[in-house]
Structure formats: structure tokens, C-alpha cells
Amino acid sequence: MTPYNTWDTQAQLGYLKDKGIEVSNKQAENKNWLLAQIKKSWYETEDKAEEGFGDIKSWVFDTYVV
């Protein structure tokens, strides 16, 4: 379950604005388009977080001295 599915239009537009995604008035009226843009941005953010965790984990194990 993803939280953005329950957001109202203003919350969706706010999220997209925070991500630097410009939305025209016509696009703002299309709930499916908004959800698709949020979903794409959401997974990119998730992937970056997982990548960052992997980098930190590698650094910790590489620097651990027995």
C-alpha cells in the first residue's frame, strides 16, 4: 500500500512540486496522470535510498577491522 493513493489533488500537486515536476492546469485535472508521475518519482526515490544504504553497508564492512 502506498500512501499517495489516498492523497487529495492538492497533496499530489504539492509532492510533485517538491520533486521539481511542473504540472499544467490540464494535467492537474487528470488524476491518472498525477498518480503515474508520483509513482515514477516515488520509486526513483526508493531506489536511491536503497543504493545509499548499500553504499554505507559496504563502507562499514570494508572498514571493519577484526
pLDDT tens for residues 14-60? 999 999 999 999 999 999 999 999 988 887 655 555 565 656 666 66
Q: Which helix (H) or strand (E) holds 60?
A: helix 31-63
The x, y and z cell numbers of residue 60, run together, are 562499514
Predicted confidence band at 3 (pLDDT cuts at 50, 70, 90)?
confident
Specify the pLDDT at position 38: 92
Sign of torsion, CA 8 14 17 19? negative
| Between 24 and 5, residue with greater pLDDT | 24
Mean pLDDT of 5-11: 92
d(CA 61, CA 56): 9
Specify the pLDDT at position 5: 85
Burial class (CB in 10 A: 0-12, 13-18, 19+), 13: middle
